[in-house]
Amino acid sequence: MTTLPDWMNPPRPEGWFAEDLDSLPEAPRHTELIDGALVFMMSPQRNWHRRVISQLDRILREQAPAGFEANSEMTVRLDDRNRPEPDAVVSTVSLGPDATCYEAADVVLAVEVVSPESEHRDLTVKPHKYAAAGIKHFWRIEDEDGNASTVVHVYELDGMTRTYAPVGIFRETLKVERPFPIELDVQTLYS
């Protein structure tokens, strides 16, 4: 049996806390904290996944009005034991150059681009956690048929139940008014 490196041992008996991610320089770049456990993105990233994130980040940045900041692949501190890394976020605060995460209260949109490695987390775990943390909008983007046929599932938070209600499924033109007016050609996300 292989011994784990010292940095992989939790710093306390109750496990990892959100702030601990900032003191793990040896961890892989896309390390998340889910329920106090470290989650590493170790499988190769598909070209479709990377390009969709890149295009979406560009589009959201271009369309975001004053008072909103779009970013990609930054963690969000949901609570003491959860700091996932959405593929894209829109926030109402601008992060400084040394910031390592957003606070959930400042995030108005979290986006997950589903990959085979993260499918379970992107479909079940993360949406539940984002809703419980009060993030008002959630998008799930998928390669619908495995041939870069992109589809965007859009959800809005029901504040009373703290769950997401579906707003629409977009395969051609996505047009929404919240969190701010956004319009994009879904199939050009992979281009």
Q: What's the pLDDT score for residue 6?
A: 84
**Cα–Cα distances in Å, from 134 out to 27, 39, 42, 79, 108?**
28, 22, 29, 11, 9
DSSP 8-state class, residue 50: H
Is the Cβ–Cβ distance between 61 and 109 less than 8 Å? no
CA dist 138 and 39 (Å) reads: 21
CATH class of the domain comprising 47-189 = alpha beta
Q: Look up residue 59 and give its two tokens.
A: 């589009």
The helix (H) or strand (E) run that includes residue 103 is strand 101-103
Is the Cβ–Cβ distance between 77 and 104 less than 8 Å? yes
Tell me the one-letter amino acid at 100.
T
CA dist 25 and 71 (Å) reads: 22
- pLDDT of residue 46 exceeding 70: yes
The helix (H) or strand (E) run that includes residue 44 is none
CA dist 154 and 136 (Å) reads: 11
pLDDT digits (tens, 9 = 90+) for 68-127: 999 998 999 999 999 999 999 999 999 999 999 999 999 999 999 999 989 999 999 999
Is the Cβ–Cβ distance between 180 and 64 less than 8 Å? yes
pTM over 0.85: yes
CA dist 7 and 29 (Å) reads: 14
pLDDT digits (tens, 9 = 90+) for 117-167: 899 999 999 999 999 999 999 999 999 988 889 999 999 999 999 999 999
Q: 168 - beta bridge partners?
A: 154
Every domain of the chain and the residues it spans: 47-189
Q: What's the pLDDT score for residue 1?
A: 60
